[in-house]
Amino acid sequence: MSRRVPRLIAQSCALGLALALPSAARAQRVHVIAAAGLSGEPAFRLLFEAAVSTLVDSARARWHVADSSLFALAEDTNGTRMRATGRATRKELEQSFLALSRRVAPGDIVLVFLVGHGSGEGTDSRVSLPGPDATAADFAGWLAGLARQNVVFVNAASGSGDFGAALAGPRRVIVTATRTALERNETRFATPFVRALTTDEADADKDGRVSVLEAFAYAKKEVARVYEADHRLLTEHATISDSTLARSVTFGAPRSAPTDPRAAALVAERSELESQVAALRGKKESMTPAAYDAELERLLVLVAQKTQAIRALGSGAKP
């Protein structure tokens, strides 16, 4: 939601954003680019590929992502257990972004997931790949072709902290496994983050879908628990760039329809309003900021009111 929307309205709509916008996202297509970087040793390769494989399998089975919108890149396609679409090279990544930019529609969701080892600082921060590494500056250029989509960019590699500032922009949620480029030890973030997105464990509001913010909070908590269990000092501090957008971008199965006919009518009315929100987001660039904010505020208030009415009907309605 735009920062120009009054703070009081933004706070009053927080519940509506958390509960209502996920179903609007159902009308949007999801596209995924997932890459396992250079491992350096067999144990890391298994770990990296397991994270990517789990994410890719769920994208197909749970989120119904079309194969043409799914790019799964492995360190080496020989001997891998992944259903890889190519190697995780800089060239393959660039081609994946280019191919996706020709398929996406305004308002679609693009999830980019990287796991591996990282190094460098600022825009020169990089993910280690077979051959030339891909830098934050490279990804910034590739993301330019996705300006009208909601992009969730997750760099779960070590030393990934500077990607947040390097890739920050409108309609983007940037998640990094570390707070700075100096946190270069092996990271634990990838596995719990993928588990959060692909299971019901992180579904805090029990709506059948997991928001990026829910997945982030779950993974961060799990990482801290693992370090504590191992009696080790926490050496990675995950970050997220836009908690408002991260709350509204969700992944998961559609929610079941309510059994109460009154609730069903309210759900239908809310769905129409959510469709209007999604359509409005696609028109943002052609509107003045004041007009966009006013209309967004009006719609979100109505969505929140419908959600409260549904919840008030009791257990027969699932918001």
Do 163 and 142 meet the contact criterion of CB atoms below 8 Å apart?
Answer: no
Give me the residue label for tokens 């991260």: 246
Residues 62 and 181 in one domain: yes
Distance CA 96, CA 100 (A): 6
% of the chain surpassing 90 pLDDT: 63
**Does 319 fall in a domain?**
no
Distance CA 173, CA 171 (A): 7
Q: How much is the pLDDT for 293?
A: 86
User: How far is C-alpha 88 from the geometric centre of its chain's CA atoms?
Assistant: 20
Structure tokens at 174: 């940037």
Q: Is 318 a residue whose pLDDT tops 50?
A: no
Structure tokens at 164: 């947040």
Residue range of the domain that includes 12: 7-22+256-312
Residues 215 and 201 in one domain: yes
pTM listed for this prediction: 0.74
CATH number for the domain harbouring residue 181: 3.40.50.1460
Residues 240 and 269 in one domain: no
Single residue among 213, 231, 252 that ends a domain in this structure: 252
**Does 108 fall in a domain?**
yes
The number of domains in the chain is 2
% of the chain surpassing 70 pLDDT: 85
Residues 18 and 157 in one domain: no
Average pLDDT in the chain: 85
Contacts of 228 (CB under 8 A, 6+ apart): none
Distance CA 78, CA 232 (A): 36
Q: How much is the pLDDT for 14?
A: 41
